Chains A and B, each alone.
Chain A
């Protein structure tokens, strides 16, 4: 049995110390800035508060490749987790980005960001099975669990994904893992954007083994994954030039030249229905954008009127996030409707009555 006992991985349980810090912070109404490796500080609004690090709370506490389940503490570096899974021929299906060696599991859950495989495999939240949440009273609570299906109580585990740590401290998470594909083959096809869209729309209705599709600089980049037979057959049918599989890692981590820090213009992430047409804004040249996720995630570098951009995205059925550099007067995340905001505030007030968890990170009054 390939089951891995808890002691097989190094780690440290700091949940009691974290709980104590939270009780103090709650008693003194001290806002906390929660960090793991602090590699995602650029994402969201700046938090003013005492730094609470989860880095000491680390280690894989359970991993059974046969069950397809891993449980891991928030402070565990993402690289450590992924290396442990790779040893057993498994991986995180949502391909989370790393923004440095220090990127942790806690940050991955709190920001909820997924990589190139997302449209085909699912997002972070789709792989979350359970969570240990350290609440405003410093008590570690278990929601969900280590089983594939669990509908007991409300789904608070998935609620924490992308909540930016504003509803509690993520102590530990249980994730579904999947086998690594038998074969991976990446391709590059010279194609105008419109043609690439057309092809992707046609392929999307067929059961092809595509696991990533991004258009950049006049070329469609594709990744095929699956059994050797189907990958070879699809490779044959689609044509194009071979592409280094590492290209996707660079895309995942926003490390392609497109994302270069030398470019001082703000970086925008547009999340749109994949078939959404050009936004039709005069300031934007759609062919200057990076179209990932088969068109559902588009990256844009531009100085422009953020409200006009957001309105155009809203009309197209999506939203826009500013990845910085921070610009005065521009919210990182698309503001919510008044009624949705009301229920966000209610939820925040219920789960964080003292306002200690990353206040203001998501929105000014959350």
Chain B
């Protein structure tokens, strides 16, 4: 099934004459940058999942809120779809453009409007980079907790759209736990204030509904985030294991001991090797798995917890437990993990990053399943895993220049996600559905549940102009997906018979 928008399966799209739309927008928005030449729009044809590309009809780069409002109102009046984009680092093709739509790029909204250390909040525009918030808050001893691996580049607006996570989620939560208020423009150009500067707001929790809604309910134009005091200290333990399953069980043992680490990450042999080759983190090459366990808080408690975790890890069969001796070594341990994706990228021309989340108890079963699938499809898979919260990032290594290998990688990825669903997990923990996992939504949800999602969408965007084709599949797409699945499964059955 083709991943690009397919009107037969995803529903008809309005087909406006690009020249007319361009002329209309230029008339109403004479001062706004509007790109229309192919060479100018080429850089916007994909997001972080660059195997999927489409050239938009037009690219709008507004500088002011009024321009965004007018643009939305005009697109609404003309019936032109709008795809919103932040920094374009998303990994699920959530901001993949539409040929019949306008790409609304919010990268020029990059101002930090306010840091209030007393209130412990930051008010920012959507194009502000995730890490820039923590940098601006640092002089006050504060920081913004969610830290996706792309935090140097990704924008906070995109974080809200995807409900981005990071390595510290188990203790400090996802974007939804750390954003308190947002200003939103509807497709009709109305302004909504969601959430509150207080700890709650009257009415429905629309702040939660919009977080992770992939730009399909409205356009976020301003965000207020919670800032946390920096922990007094943070210490990291690295444990090596000669068996992946032992490492998986050790994770549960730590949590059962009543300890919630600031970060608890696991990497398998292939990922360890790749990271070590790339950043020289000091990882034990040859170990089947490592666990990185960061404990943060007040010095005295952290020391107590380090001792407890060390005992738990040793009892769980770790072959070696090392505590980072100083801040530099702690940074190196994390650098290996945070650079795991590019590190794996050096081992292979292309890699495809999955994002399934599973109950931790299913980890041995899922890792075995992934190894079997990897062998069956003939592609290597490296495993990087937010072990504390069950969020897996299997990285499928492939070469897009080899005929058909992308298709094989996609099929393998799809099976990994369906395995996650089968053990009680989900197809996406933090990267979003976007266009990438649109088919697997049919495996995770029943048609009536998908209909409820569409009902929620209809409350805000009945004409379906905001980011059409993402996140929620149509009934037509799901029935085609199921037909193809059945056809694929059928020959296997007859061979066995």
Residues of chain A at the chain B interface (Cβ within 8 Å): 1-3, 64-69, 89, 112, 118-119, 122-123, 125-126, 133, 135, 137, 139, 141-143, 145-156, 158-159, 161-163, 167, 178-180, 182, 201, 204-209, 226-230, 233, 271-275, 293, 296-297, 317-319, 321, 333-337, 339-340, 343-344, 346-347, 349-351, 362-363
Contact = CB atoms under 8 A, between A and B. Distances in A.
Given A163-B204, A226-B297, A153 B471 contact: yes
Interface stretch (B6-14, B252-260, B334-342): B252-260
Interface of B: 117-120, 140-142, 162-163, 165, 169-170, 173-174, 176-177, 186, 190-193, 196-206, 208-209, 211-213, 217, 229-232, 252, 255-256, 258-260, 297-298, 300-301, 303-305, 357-361, 386, 388-391, 424-433, 437, 441, 444-446, 448-450, 452-453, 455-460, 471-472
A161 B391 CA distance: 24
Given A148-B390, A204-B120, A293-B199, A343 B452 contact: no
Contacts of B255: 66, 68
Contact of B119 (A150, A274, A336, A343): A274
A151 B431 contact: yes
B304 A317 contact: no
12 contacts: A67-B361, A126-B173, A145-B425, A154-B471, A159-B205, A159-B206, A162-B200, A229-B301, A229-B303, A230-B297, A273-B197, A346-B459
Given A148-B169, A149-B389, A318-B198, A163 B205 contact: yes
A347 B456 contact: yes
A1 B253 CA distance: 9
A142 B297 contact: no
A207 B186 CA distance: 39
A134 B413 CA distance: 33
Given A153-B472, A205-B140, A182 B258 contact: yes
Given A153-B445, A161-B205, A362-B203, A145 B391 contact: no
Given A89-B258, A159-B209, A318-B197, A64 B429 contact: no
A149 B430 contact: yes
Given A141-B449, A228-B304, 19 more contacts: A64-B359, A67-B361, A125-B205, A126-B177, A151-B212, A151-B430, A151-B431, A154-B472, A159-B205, A161-B208, A162-B205, A163-B204, A205-B120, A205-B142, A227-B298, A271-B199, A296-B199, A297-B199, A335-B202
A191 to B, nearest CB: 18
B256 A275 contact: no
Contacts of B120: 204-205
Contacts of B193: 337, 340
In the A-B complex, the 4 residue pairs with the smallest Cβ-Cβ separation, listed nearest first, are A229-B300, A227-B301, A158-B208, A149-B429
B427 A152 contact: yes
A344 B203 contact: yes
Contact of A178 (B260, B389, B425): B260
B215 to A, nearest CB: 12
Given A69-B359, A163-B205, A350 B199 contact: no
Contacts of A201: 118
Contacts of A162: 200, 204-205
Given A126-B177, A155-B208, A66 B449 contact: no
B448 A141 contact: yes
**Residue among A1, A66, A201 having the largest count of chain B Cβ atoms under 10 Å:** A66
Contacts of A149: 165, 169, 174, 357, 386, 389-391, 426, 429-430
Is the contact region of chain A dominated by helix, strand, or loop, or is it mixed?
loop
A152 B120 CA distance: 30
B304 A227 contact: yes
A148 B232 CA distance: 26
A147 B426 contact: yes
B453 A154 contact: yes
A143 B360 contact: no
Contact of B256 (A2, A334, A343): A2
A162 B230 CA distance: 31
B141 A272 contact: no
A159 B208 contact: yes
A229 B230 CA distance: 19
A339 B389 CA distance: 38
Contacts of A112: 200, 205
Given A147-B358, A351-B455, A119 B301 contact: no
A233 B202 contact: no
A344 B204 contact: yes
B260 A229 contact: no
Nearest to B251: A66
B459 A317 contact: no
Nearest to A273: B197
Contact of A207 (B231, B427, B453): B231
Contacts of A148: 169-170, 357, 388-391, 429
A322 to B, nearest CB: 12
B300 to A, nearest CB: 3
Contact of B298 (A163, A207, A271): A207
A207 B386 CA distance: 25
A154 B202 contact: no
Contacts of A347: 204, 456, 459
A211 B466 CA distance: 42
Contact of A275 (B119, B142, B450): B119
Nearest to A332: B202
Nearest to B417: A152
A201 B229 CA distance: 12
A31 B111 CA distance: 49
Given A66-B361, A333-B202, A347-B204, A150 B426 contact: yes
Contacts of B455: 350-351
A119 B199 CA distance: 7
A55 to B, nearest CB: 25
Contact of A271 (B200, B230, B452, B459): B200
Contacts of A167: 204
Nearest to B171: A178
A208 B390 CA distance: 29
A151 B256 contact: no
Nearest to B231: A207
A133 B211 CA distance: 20
B432 A230 contact: no
Contacts of A1: 361
Nearest to B191: A339
Contact of B198 (A126, A229, A272, A336): A272
Contacts of A349: 459
Nearest to B356: A147
Contacts of A182: 258
Contact of B429 (A151, A158, A204): A151
Given A145-B426, A334-B202, A350 B456 contact: yes
Contacts of B259: 179
Nearest to B198: A318
Given A153-B441, A336-B203, A158 B176 contact: yes
